Amino acid sequence: MRRLRNVKIVATLGPASSDYDMIRKLFEAGADVFRLNMSHGTHEDIRARHAIIRQIEADTGRPIAILADLQGPKLRVGVFANGSEDLVEGATFRMDLSDAPGDLNRVQLPHPEIFAALEPGATLLVNDGKIRLSVNECGPDFADCTVSVGGTISNRKGVNVPDVVLPVAALSDKDRKDLEFACAIGVDWLALSFVQRPEDVIEARELAKGRAAILSKIEKPAAVKAYDAILAVSDGIMVARGDLGVELPVQAVPPIQKRLVRGARAAAKPVIVATQMLESMIESPVPTRAEVSDVATAIYEGADAVMLSAESAAGQYPIEAVTTMHNVAISVESDPVYREIIEASRKAKRTTVADGIVAAAREIAEATDIKAICCFSQSGTTVSLVSRERPRVPILALTPLMETARRMCLTWGTHCVLTEEQDRFKGAVISAARAAREEGFATESDQIVVTAGVPFNTQGTTNILRVAPCDERLIHRVDPE
């Protein structure tokens, strides 16, 4: 099954998309990666959806990536005696550690780590930023605030603290259990919430022990400030615009999105743009024009993937949402302006032999009538480097490792093919030519570019490039035994 687009689509599974028929329809409509949200559903639910995806993978013969999204610590207020209270702008309000039911003057905030980090002048945001409190005075067990923006505050509403780096681990006890469970059943990517510092990512990587790649969600101002360091220790990035838009002024999010996408591209690491991309399609079969423009903008920026959340997990029109994303991608990528933007933003620093090989592969492919760039890869690193170049021709990612093939499904422009292990370059060229023909990328009269590393089956050895015919008889004629 060949996709006629380069950007990938991530679809979240949930109550609206939990059986074989629906998940297969989502895959056939264009979903390349399925997201399992660990915030919702039991381990049994997650295991069942994972098994269905793997069955579809076997039935269709195409690798499919699975992304498990960890919940992260949730900071919430306690409960109110009346269930809720209306806070008025200019009023005073206290948060403290007392477990007594809240009233119009105070409520419990059962997180001493927040009080330890607060300073006068800091801001507390409640209920996705709908209520804004300014801290006047604080101590180890209280914060006296002035209501800057009022509203209704009710039981267990979420609290955001945008101004400080909180001494809170990115992994809660629940997350640690979920991480081990997800790795045990065999997910390909782990999305890490509440990242504030590179140490958060390093901790998750140590727990994963190589069983899954780590994708850092950039959703806090502290993560934006430490982005370069976080990117360096991550395998991928998610631009989580929902929480960013709560903790930062909404007008700051679009330029941050552009910077995060370009940084990940330069580092040859996949980047997902997420949150509210087709929000209206939860209840409507047709998106708004603004939502279509939003999806298109992410694709014009060169994002590896765009993501559906509630649209495919709990919405009334999950298949239509995936189809819409697919159609927008086809339209954008056929626009000549798209190539102009993509190529103008190609600013990778090339310092290694592998960098030079993949850059040469792209230039040769674009200067001549080459049908595809075929990459043999053990870890997926070479494929990521080729993808960073954003070539005009398809990328065939060839690997003998199913785990690598699945992870590469998140990478821009890749068509992943499971192949036999090779010990000689001639065999690799023949295998690449065969795959290009069988997968519909070329005919016997066409040529392809093949990249690989010698010695074979060793990570990080990309050092060879060849323009090869797709006719195996010609390969044998040029390279006799």
Positions marked active-site: 35, 76, 217, 275
User: How far from 125 is each of 187, 433, 454, CA to CA, in Å?
Assistant: 34, 57, 55
Pairing mode, strands 8-13 and 33-37? parallel
CA–CA dist 188, 381 (Å, integer): 15
In 3D, which of 385, 406, 390, 367 has the Cα closest to residue 451? 385
SS3 of residue 248 by DSSP:
coil
Residue 308 host element (H or E): strand 305-308
Measured between its terminal Cα atoms, the distance across the chain in Å is 34
DSSP code of residue 83: S
CA–CA dist 455, 86 (Å, integer): 69
CA–CA dist 307, 9 (Å, integer): 6
Residue 271 · residue 258 · CB < 8 Å: no
CA–CA dist 370, 470 (Å, integer): 11
